[in-house]
Amino acid sequence: MTKAIENKLGLKHSQAQKLASFIMDTFGYESRIIDNVLNPEERQLFYMLQSEGLLSAGREQTRLHDGREWLTYYWEIEDKAILYYAHKQMERRKRSIFKTSPKNIYESLPEDIWMMRKAIRNMYS
């Protein structure tokens, strides 16, 4: 989620991480939540994320015992769009790495790749 927000909205990592944490905390283990749990500021944020394609909104109509109709509004995570935007930057980064001459390929690798390599090495040593 953090990477998708970074790539789609152009936010810094720390800002994207805060926003992603808020979204994931709000949804919990579900991919869909009812609109009633949001306050007006959160709802406004969700509308912005909907316009960017990361969330979608919908409604369901239910018939109550007494025959009245009840509308429930909800928000849903667009997981395919999130995966797309999360990997979009990675593809761009891979292409730029392969354009680099073999002589300085290691110098062109971003710091997060080196950190991931160190973390994996520490896990298995």
| CA distances (Å), origin 47, targets 17, 34, 56, 95, 112 | 19, 14, 8, 33, 32
d(CA 7, CA 1): 10
pLDDT at position 94 over 80: no
Question: What pLDDT does 110 receive?
Answer: 72
pLDDT at position 92 over 70: no
Q: How many domains does the chain have?
A: 1
| CA distances (Å), origin 21, targets 17, 18, 29, 61, 67 | 6, 5, 13, 31, 40
The reply to whether 66 falls in a domain is yes
Average pLDDT, the chain: 83
The reply to whether 107 falls in a domain is no
The reply to whether 121 falls in a domain is no
pLDDT at position 48 over 60: yes
Q: Which domain holds residue 28?
A: 2-90
- The percent of residues above 90 in pLDDT, for the chain, comes to 58
The reply to whether 78 falls in a domain is yes
The reply to whether 115 falls in a domain is no
CATH code assigned at 59? 1.10.10
Give the angle 76-79-85 at the CA atoms, nearest 5°: 125
The reply to whether 123 falls in a domain is no
Question: What pLDDT does 88 receive?
Answer: 77
Question: What pLDDT does 46 receive?
Answer: 94
